[in-house]
Structure 1
């Protein structure tokens, strides 16, 4: 599966999780209208962090949330990104329980400073893959993770 298709699938899975709901039976807790039974995502965390409305969840909004999780400003930026940038985004997305975007950017800035250069996307991808191969990023730091299978 190519990288764009991977992110499209994630968007569809997020929308499916939004639809796995039933009316909230807890009348004391009227913060959420629905109780969710998600399969892939921590739906409540996604809704809180991306300011999503329970009543207006669409594929477009799911795509936007996935793009933001992957480190892009919006979906159109994601689909226009270079293949190395998409592969970096996929690595970071799949390992969001170990590293967030800020940690990655600090790590990259440190490597660029040590080498006194700005790297191209291909080199950044190689650095990212190397960092994960060497287990530079691990799950010792508590990070908000949207993926249920990583919690």
Structure 2
């Protein structure tokens, strides 16, 4: 099925679950309370998190909820979305147990504000698939679905791989002096941002372990990653540094224990 057909199916399934609704009067609350026998979604969880009006839930309401789970403002956004944005929306939906949409939105916003540049849909999709999702691999959230439909095959449009805008490629290691300098500068900037978020218990010791030059020369780019777009590599530094900085913080903690 096409991506749009897949999302339409999710909305129809959500609407079907709401049709299993039964109600009874709660004497303590003095109002109706509703119960469901859903097959596809955890209705009670959705009602609480999305402030759903249980007394008047139509297919359009179901579509709106699915759109929100896909990182969209409203269902009609799909009609004007690029293929990359639609694919990203479905990835956000199918990986809801591993990430929250707001975390992704904040991540993109941080990149755009730091670099004073708006990311296009293709670049966002690339960052999500090759960096962000791996960063979230050890984080798990409540899944609104009762079961995953992993057997569903989605027919994706084949995009033209040739970009109309030439990009600078890094094709060999070690990288040249110009790239090395800008990568080191970006690594230091990313370290400071991540350092503030991580808030190590032993900040001075963690800083002493940080070596941007060593990270760029020995840890960052690997031969199997080449060729790689230079701009994408700069963005990837921030993604790959998260776990690295956490590792430095853990090492600093271990060193502090040993000294004590």
- Name the TM-score class by shorter chain: 0.7 to 0.9
Q: Output aligned runs, 1:116-127, within 5 Å.
A: 117-127=117-127
Q: CA deviation at 1:48?
A: 2.3
Q: Match of 2:147, SS?
A: helix
1:145 counterpart (132, 138, 143): 143
Q: Match of 1:148, SS?
A: coil
Q: Match of 2:125, SS?
A: helix
Distance, in Å, in 1 between the alignment partners of 2:62 and 2:42 is 13
The answer to whether 1:51 aligns with 2:20 is no
- Residue 3 of structure 1 aligns with which residue? 3
- Residue 40 of structure 1 aligns with which residue? 40
Distance, in Å, in 2 between the alignment partners of 1:126 and 1:49 is 29
TM-score, with length taken from structure 1? 0.80
Q: CA deviation at 1:137?
A: 1.4
Distance, in Å, in 1 between the alignment partners of 2:135 and 2:88 is 15
Q: Match of 1:106, SS?
A: helix
Deviates more, 1:107-116 or 1:49-58: 107-116
Distance, in Å, in 2 between the alignment partners of 1:114 and 1:80 is 28
Q: CA deviation at 1:49?
A: 2.4
- Residue 107 of structure 2 aligns with which residue? 107
Deviates more, 1:22-31 or 1:79-88: 22-31
Q: Match of 1:149, SS?
A: coil
Distance, in Å, in 2 between the alignment partners of 1:70 and 1:30 is 36
Distance, in Å, in 1 between the alignment partners of 2:27 and 2:35 is 12
- Residue 20 of structure 1 aligns with which residue? 20
Higher relative contact order, structure no. (Cα contacts within 8 Å, ≥ 6 residues apart): 1
Q: Output aligned runs, 1:89-108, within 5 Å.
A: 89-108=89-108
Cα RMSD over matched residues? 2.7
Q: CA deviation at 1:140?
A: 2.6
Q: Match of 2:135, SS?
A: coil
Distance, in Å, in 2 between the alignment partners of 1:45 and 1:123 is 33
| Unaligned stretches of 5+ residues in structure 1 | none
State which structure, 1 or 2, has the greater radius of gyration over its C-alpha atoms: 2
Q: Match of 1:145, SS?
A: coil
| Unaligned stretches of 5+ residues in structure 2 | 149-260
Cα distance, 1:52–1:28 mapped onto 2, change above 3 Å: same
- Contact kept in structure 2, 1:33 and 1:54, CA below 8 Å: no
Cα distance, 1:50–1:106 mapped onto 2, change above 3 Å: closer
- Contact kept in structure 2, 1:131 and 1:137, CA below 8 Å: no
